[in-house]
Structures are given as structure tokens and as C-alpha cells.
Amino acid sequence: MKNITFILTLVLSVFIGTNAYAQETVPKEVLLTTLNGVNSLKLSNLKTTELMDYNKGYVDKVYDITESDKSEKDKKTALETLSNDTKKDLIDLLGKSEYKKYVKLMEEQLKPLTKKSKLFKYLY
């Protein structure tokens, strides 16, 4: 009886320990919806549509990186590189002034998601 209790306690503690350190996953749709939440910027319909189209591909690239078998360090580096490329693309798309407003808005909106996935802090 003591052996069974010990084994069950050991299994339960291992199970709880592994779940406590696991990061939550953020669904692609949630990240995409967050990135597309730009109503407060009052962009033209054309720019909003182009931004939403761009964000679809961007989210796919982000998830390709975060779901890969790379180490956390390599994922961080890849996301930083992607962020630099995205900055150039978005400045071309939105203009420098609108880009700054967009990044500020995204930093605020991505905070809850960053708590769930630490790698998201390297997006902008």
C-alpha cells in the first residue's frame, strides 16, 4: 500500500511539474486578429486591406519559427531578423509616421499574448 501511494504521488508530482512550466500556445487566429486590430489608426481602406494581407503571411512566418525544432536562442534570432524585415516592409506600406503609430498600438495589444508566449516580445 505504501509503495502504491509513493508511486502515485511521484507520478502526480511529475505531471504537475511539467504542466507548470509549459507555455500556453496562442492560436494563429488570435495573433492575426490582434495584428489586424487597427481601427483606431484610421487608415484608408486600401492600406488596411494591404496590411491585413501582409499580416496573414507574417503570422505564418512567425508560427513557422515558433513551432520549429530550433533552440529558443535560434528562434529569438530568427524572430528578430523577421522583425527587421517587417519594419522595412511596413514603412513602405504605411509610411514612417503611420508605422510608428502601428508599432505603438501593437506593443500595447500584444502584451497579453507576450505573457502566454515569451517569444512574441521579439515581434516589434
Q: Does residue 1 form part of some domain?
A: no
pLDDT tens figures, 6-31: 565 655 566 565 544 445 689 999 99
Q: Does residue 100 form part of some domain?
A: yes
Report how far residue 77's alpha carbon sits from residue 58's, in angstroms, rounded to the nearest whole number. Answer: 16
Domains contained in the chain, number: 1
How confident is residue 32, by pLDDT bands cut at 50, 70 and 90?
very high
pTM of the model: 0.77
Which value, to the nearest 10 degrees, does the dihedral of the CA atoms of residues 77, 29, 53, 117 take? -20
Q: Does residue 97 form part of some domain?
A: yes
Predicted pLDDT of residue 16: 65
Q: Does residue 7 form part of some domain?
A: no
CA 29 centroid distance within chain: 11
pLDDT tens figures, 96-107: 999 999 999 999
Q: What is the extent of the structural domain holding 35?
A: 25-122
Q: Does residue 5 form part of some domain?
A: no
Q: CB neighbours of 87 closer than 8 A, spacing ≥ 6?
A: 99
